[in-house]
Amino acid sequence: MDALALEKKAQRNAELRERLMQLKKERNAIILAHFYQRPEIQEVADFIGDSFGLAQKAKETDADVILFCGVHFMGESAKILNPQKTVIIPDERAGCPMADMVNVDGLRKLKAQHPNAKVVAYINTSADVKAETYICCTSSNAKKVIESLDTDEIIWVPDKNLGHYVSQFTDKKMIIWEGYCNTHDQLSVEDIMTLKQQHPEAVVVVHPECRPEVVSLADYVGSTTGILKYCRESSHKEFIIGTEDGTRYMLEKDSPEKTFIFASKYLVCPNMKVNNLKKCVEALENMKPEIFVPQDVADAARASLERMLEVAPG
C-alpha cells in the first residue's frame, strides 16, 4: 500500500505541476519560493532563496503576477516593492510567530524612549512594523546594514538571538526586542553535543536565529544562503545542520555525496509547510489569496526596504 500511495502521490504531483506551468504562462507569473518550502514547491519555483534573495528578485521581476511561496510578511515585502503587480500566496494562514512578537504600539513607545536611535527591523516583520522602521535587514546583511548607519544607538526588532549575534560585531549600542524564531530557538546545546559525540568528524553549521549558547558551538554561523554556500564549497563530507529542515532539499541537490544530519527532528517551521502544490494551483486559478498593503503603510515600509537594498545590493 505504501508503494501504491507513493505512486499515486507522484502522479498527482506531476498533474499539478503541469497545470501550474500552464497557469504560470497564462498569468505571466513568476513563482518565488523560500528555502524552507516543501521540496515539491522548490522543484517548480523560478527562484529559490532566503528572505534577502527573494526581496531582490521581487524587485527585479517583470512578471505581472508574483506567486510567493513563503510566509505572509514575505508576500507583503514583494507587494511593497511592486505596488503595481498582483502578489498572491498559496495559503493566507502562513504567518510568522516571530513577526507577530513585535507590534507598532510597543515599537513607538520604544522609539519615544530612545529618540536618537534608529530602528533596524529584521525583514521578518509585518508591513506595519516596517513602516515604523528606518531600515530593514536580513540575517545575511545585518552586520553591513548596522555599520552603514550614522548613529551610535540601534533599536533592533524582533529577533533577540540574531540581535545578540550581530551585537558582537559592532560598537553601537543595541536595544534588542525580546522576540525569537520558534523553530530555531528550540535547538539546544544538548542537541548539538549529542550529535557531536555520535559524529565527531562532522562540521557544525547553524543559523544566527539559534540561541547564543548554540551559536557558540558552531564551526560556521550564517544565513540560509550562507549555510548552503559553505556546505557546497567545504571539503568536509559530514555536517550537523542547525536550521530549518527545508534546506535539506538544496543541500542534497548541491552536494549529493555529502551527509547532512539535522540537529533536531523539530527543526520544521509549520507555517512554511502549510503551502503545497495544490494550493499553488488554486492560487493562480483564482488569483487569491491576494496581498494588499495600505498605500501609506506601503510607502513608509518601502523606504526601509529600499534603504536595505541600496546598502547591500547583493
**Beta strand ranges found along the chain (DSSP E):** 29-34, 47-49, 65-69, 86-88, 118-122, 135-137, 153-157, 173-176, 203-206, 220-221, 238-242, 259-262
Q: Do both 305 and 176 map to the same domain? A: yes
Which amino acid type is present at position 292?
Answer: F
Residue 1: per-residue pLDDT? 52
Q: How far lies 265's CA from each of 17, 151, 187, 243, in Å?
A: 29, 41, 10, 11
Contact 108, 271 (CB under 8 A): no
Q: What is the pLDDT along the chain (314 residues), one digit of tens a residue?
A: 577 777 788 888 889 999 999 999 999 999 999 999 999 999 999 999 988 788 888 888 899 999 999 999 999 999 999 999 999 999 999 999 999 999 999 999 999 999 999 999 999 999 999 999 999 999 989 999 999 999 999 999 999 999 999 999 999 999 999 999 999 999 999 999 999 999 999 999 999 999 999 999 999 999 999 999 999 999 999 999 999 999 999 999 999 999 999 999 999 999 999 999 999 999 999 999 999 999 999 999 999 999 998 987 65
Which residues contribute to the annotated binding site?
34, 51, 96, 122-124, 139, 181, 207-209, 224, 269
Q: Do both 64 and 126 map to the same domain? A: no
Count of domains in the chain? Answer: 3
- Domain hosting residue 40, numbered range: 1-94+272-286
Q: Do both 169 and 199 map to the same domain? A: no
Q: Do both 172 and 192 map to the same domain? A: no
| 238-242 and 86-88 strand pairing | unpaired
Residue 226: per-residue pLDDT? 94
Q: Do both 89 and 1 map to the same domain? A: yes
Within 10 A of 44 (CB to CB), how many other CB atoms are there?
19
Q: Do both 225 and 264 map to the same domain? A: yes
Which residues contribute to the annotated binding site for [4Fe-4S] cluster?
96, 181, 269
Q: Give the phi and the psi of residue 191 in degrees, each rounded to 5.
A: -60, -45
Q: Do both 204 and 238 map to the same domain? A: yes
Q: Do both 12 and 66 map to the same domain? A: yes
Q: Do both 300 and 163 map to the same domain? A: yes
Residue 3: per-residue pLDDT? 75
* CATH number for the domain that contains residue 111: 3.40.50.10800
Which residues contribute to the annotated binding site for iminosuccinate?
34, 51, 122-124, 139, 207-209, 224
Residue 54: per-residue pLDDT? 87
Contact 252, 225 (CB under 8 A): no
